[in-house]
Structures are given as structure tokens and as C-alpha cells.
């Protein structure tokens, strides 16, 4: 089945530093998504990428959809304490390519800790 | 309500018992997904409902797992004869129509512990 490899697994950074995490896939996705999950909550969508090569920003967050459609990265600039949480990449499956629905395939997450 | 709600928030059960987990999607959303998140893992797709169409059950791990969606709104995920490996957080998500550009909004999840 499809697998997403997300790295790093965890990061400890100083407040104000920039952060980068990435995701690679063994197969092609037409849509890449980045979610953040806080403890005891469900994931919340941060950025959605729909086109190969697309670079999209949302405040201090920037994400890119790789040209091969098999990878994506997320950058966070000037980290702050509320950036703490687990970040997940997700590829959206496509029913026109054999999947039953637009269900998401998730990476295992990057746990971010910010030291004030 | 404004978001997806799930109940109970926590469930502890004994091995072999049946459990039911409930999801209330965002009002008006026709698409509903169930995912499972094991400790330290990403989310794993279980089942998808869209309107009156036949559900996509391709992610259900065994025949002990089933789900219903009555009246196109509330959904119940049932796990029969629970096993310890069923312990996980079960998350529900809904989207407006299940389309490619629709955002999936997640509930807070139900943490299931099987003793």
C-alpha cells in the first residue's frame, strides 16, 4: 500500500529559529496537505497544495508540492511557543485512480518542541 | 454545533466486549470519514460515507469493525469482540461534499483503551 515517509520524527528548537520538515511517498499524489495536531485534539489543516511545483504560504508557514508529485516540505519561520505540536503530511487519494474516495494517507508526524 | 463532535471522549473496555463510538459531523456536510490513530503513528483511513452512496469500507482492518450512518448525518463505528490491538484514538472527519478540493474537518477523537 501507499506509504508516506515523514522526517524528522521530532525536533527541539529555540524560539525564533526556522524549522523544516519533509515528506516523501512511494507513489504519486495529486494533492498534498499539511496538518497540525495539538494534544487531545483532531488535526487542523494548515496548507493544501494542489499543483506540482506549487509553493504556498500561510503566515509564517510555507509549503511546496514537489515536481515529481512524490514529495512535499513544510517550513516554519521564526518559531514561537504556540507552534508546539505534531505536524502531519498527508496525500489525498483519488477515486479516479482506483481509490474508493478522497481519503487521506498520513505520514507518522513530526513532533515539534519549542524552547522559549 | 460549529465543528465535528465525537463521543465518548474516552472509553475503557475489557477485551472481548463490543464498543460503539459516535460522530456528529458538521451540519450540512455530506461526506464523513473515520480514521484510526495508534500511539505515535499517523492516521489510518477506515471507512468513508457520502450521501446515499455505498460506503467505501476498504480501510476496515477486520470484520469485527463496522460503521453506519443513519439519516445522512450521525455515524456510529462499532467494534465487536475488542482486542488489545484495537486500542487507539478513533477520529472522525467531515467535508462538505467529499470532493477533491473539500477540506476534511476533524473531531477531537475517542480514545479507546482495551484492557
Sign, CA dihedral B54-B6-B3-B100, equals negative
Place of cell 515528506: A23
Q: Could you read off the pLDDT of B11-47 as tens digits, one per residue?
A: 999 999 999 999 999 999 999 999 999 987 889 999 9
Contacts from A58-66 at CB under 8 Å and sequence distance 24+? A61/A34, A63/A32, A63/A34, A65/A32
A29 in B contact zone (CB under 8 Å): no
Interface of B with A (CB under 8 A): 4, 31, 33, 35, 40-45, 48, 50, 56-59, 91, 93, 98-109
Angstrom CA distances, B8 to A74, A91, B19, B27, B65, stand at 33, 29, 11, 19, 18
Best mutation site among B43, B98, B101, B102 for testing chain A: the one with the most A CBs within 10 Å? B43
The CA distance from B11 to B42, in Å, is: 20
A96 in B contact zone (CB under 8 Å): no
Q: Could you read off the pLDDT of A16-74 as tens digits, one per residue?
A: 999 999 999 998 998 999 999 999 899 999 999 999 999 999 999 999 999 999 999 99
Amino acid at each position: 500500500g501507499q506509504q508516506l515517509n515523514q522526517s524528522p520524527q521530532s525536533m527541539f528548537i529555540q524560539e525564533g529559529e526556522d524549522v523544516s520538515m519533509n515528506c516523501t511517498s512511494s507513489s504519486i499524489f495529486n494533492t498534498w496537505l499539511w496538518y497540525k495536531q495539538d494534544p487531545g485534539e483532531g488535526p487542523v489543516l494548515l496548507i493544501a497544495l494542489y499543483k506540482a511545483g506549487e509553493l504556498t504560504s500561510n503566515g509564517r508557514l510555507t509549503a511546496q508540492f514537489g515536481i515529481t508529485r512524490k514529495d512535499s516540505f513544510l517550513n516554519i519561520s521564526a518559531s514561537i511557543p504556540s507552534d508546539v505540536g505534531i505536524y502531519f503530511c498527508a496525500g489525498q487519494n483519488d477515486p479516479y485512480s482506483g481509490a474508493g474516495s478522497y481519503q487521506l494517507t498520513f505520514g507518522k508526524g513530526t513532533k515539534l518542541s519549542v524552547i522559549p | 454545533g460549529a465543528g465535528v463532535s465525537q463521543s465518548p471522549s474516552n472509553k475503557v473496555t475489557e477485551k472481548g466486549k463490543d464498543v460503539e463510538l459516535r460522530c456528529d459531523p458538521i451540519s450540512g456536510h455530506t461526506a464523513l470519514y473515520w480514521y484510526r490513530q495508534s500511539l505515535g503513528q499517523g492516521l489510518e483511513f477506515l471507512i468513508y460515507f457520502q450521501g446515499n452512496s455505498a460506503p467505501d469500507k476498504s480501510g476496515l482492518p477486520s470484520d469485527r469493525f463496522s460503521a453506519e450512518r443513519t439519516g445522512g448525518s450521525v455515524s456510529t463505528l462499532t467494534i465487536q469482540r475488542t482486542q488489545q490491538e484495537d486500542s487507539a484514538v478513533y477520529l472522525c472527519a467531515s467535508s462538505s461534499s467529499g470532493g477533491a478540493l473539500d477540506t476534511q474537518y476533524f473531531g477531537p477523537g475517542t480514545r479507546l483503551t482495551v484492557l
